[in-house]
Amino acid sequence: MAEFPAFLSAQDVGSFAYLTVKDRLPQILTKAIDTLHRHKSEFFEKHGKEGVEAEKKAISLLSKLRNELQTDKPITRLADKWVDTDIWNHYLGHERSLLNGSDEEPRWFFSPWLFVECYMYRRIHEAIVQSPPIQDFDVFKESKDESFFESQESIDTLCMHIQQLRPARDFSEDELKDTLFKLLQISLWGNKCDLSLSGGESSSEKTDVINSLEGLMPFILINDTESLWELLSTYKKAAKSSVVRVDIVLDNSGFELVTDLVLADFLLSSELATEIHFHGKTIPWFVSDVTMHDFNWIIEHVRGSNQKFTSTCGAEWENHVKMGRWIYHDHIFWTLPHPYCAMPQVAPDLYTKLQKACLILFKGDLNYRKLMSDRKWEFTFPFHEALCGFHPAPLCSIRTLKCELQVGLQPGQAEQLMAFDPHWLTTGKYGVFQFDGPL
């Protein structure tokens, strides 16, 4: 492994990884504990004394976890009996030297940041599943719902915009391309709404994103949308009767998911794709990541809107699901600590599934970190090489920058950004479309 740069880690004092482990992760755990406290009476109403005992047990487990994190205790094996427990414990047992740089027990501030962050969310899940009868409670659901409702105005504007575009099949090629680029940008900037970045505090979208696009263009550091257009339009011209499948590996629920669904809707109506496959998490993850429940909940709430354009979108999206044009998948691999280059070995079934796509869109920062193995690559290092062989199909990362990791920049570009904005890597203010095309 000598040829690879080191992993990002909290041992770099003052780094974004360090501040995350020191401040943001304990804050997220505190918020999860408070959420359980506030639902005590609901647990009692549903489950009686057993529900109250379960709440106490879950809080005790989360408080223990918070203490372990804050005092940099060794990272322990999982004790639950969930479907991925053995994979996690195997990873912990066999990758000690990789995780910690020695044969010592991995610890919070000295192990790879990606690993410890994923591990914390997996331990939150463990605390809940070990506390029946509240084992299905999502400690982040309230935050996700609140973010959706607070973004209602922007959602209505976006739904009105997509409804007024119809019918896309009558568009000229230039109009089609222009609209695709706009909706891709809206999906990019939707990625700013990340509750794990804000420690679970509200991060809703309150601006009219469509009218903001031109002003945001200078903040797109790498823009490979032209390559996406070439790929999709080639498929459209060549494939009158065959399947054109676009997969979207989702990130955040709430406003961002709505932007992804609007994009997916347009891909179908413009016949740039014939089916969309969405990939989400099996368990609550990184505060605001999409689960199957969130996916269905958003479509249901958009359909139930009292705004005509919004409810029409929701009804059409529901129909896409019923007719099999939109297919939602979840897989345990998305909540494992492995980088994506390990997918062919760890989850060959998922890799085979992704190979059926004509294009895969990876949304958000966590997906980017896993695509890049969360290593300290040089800013100018080629995107294709940093994927370390991961290439099930042509793929594109669509993310706003929220960690100290970025590849594929032009020489001098990072230095210019640093001089202008020392925090350019971590605020979500800048975005990229990074494409790795057909091999």
Structural domain spans, the chain: 16-129, 141-436
Prediction pTM value: 0.96
- Return per-residue pLDDT of the chain as tens, 439 residues: 448 999 999 999 999 999 999 999 999 999 999 999 999 999 999 999 999 999 999 999 999 999 999 999 999 999 999 999 999 999 998 777 666 666 678 999 999 999 999 999 999 999 999 999 999 999 999 999 999 999 999 999 999 999 988 677 788 999 999 999 999 999 999 998 654 544 445 445 566 778 889 999 999 999 999 999 999 999 998 866 689 999 999 999 999 999 999 999 999 999 999 999 999 999 999 999 999 999 999 999 999 999 999 999 999 999 999 999 999 999 999 999 999 999 999 999 999 999 999 999 999 999 999 999 999 999 999 999 999 999 999 999 999 999 999 999 999 999 999 999 999 999 999 999 999 999 8
CATH of domain 16-129: 1.20.930.60
Question: Residue 169 has which token pair?
Answer: 């099949």
Place of tokens 């089916």: 275
Q: What are phi and psi of 342, to 5 degrees?
A: -85, -5
Which pLDDT does position 207 carry in this prediction? 64
Distance (Å) of CA 424 to CA 17, 94, 420: 15, 36, 8
Q: What is the model's pLDDT at position 203?
A: 46
If one counts every other C-beta atom within 10 angstroms of the C-beta of residue 129, the result is 18
What H or E segment, with its residue span, contains residue 221? strand 220-223
Work out the number of other CB atoms within 10 angstroms of the CB of residue 385: 12
CATH code: domain 141-436 is 3.40.50.10880
Q: What local confidence, expressed as pLDDT, does residue 165 receive? A: 82
> What angle do the packed helices 40-47 and 49-70 form, to 10 degrees?
140
Question: What does the alpha-carbon distance between residue 294 and residue 141 come to, in Å, rounded to a whole number?
Answer: 8
Q: Which long-range CB contacts under 8 A does 66-72 form with residues at least 24 apart?
A: 66/26, 66/29, 66/30, 66/33, 68/108, 69/21, 69/25, 69/26, 69/29, 69/108, 69/120, 70/26, 72/107, 72/108, 72/109, 72/110
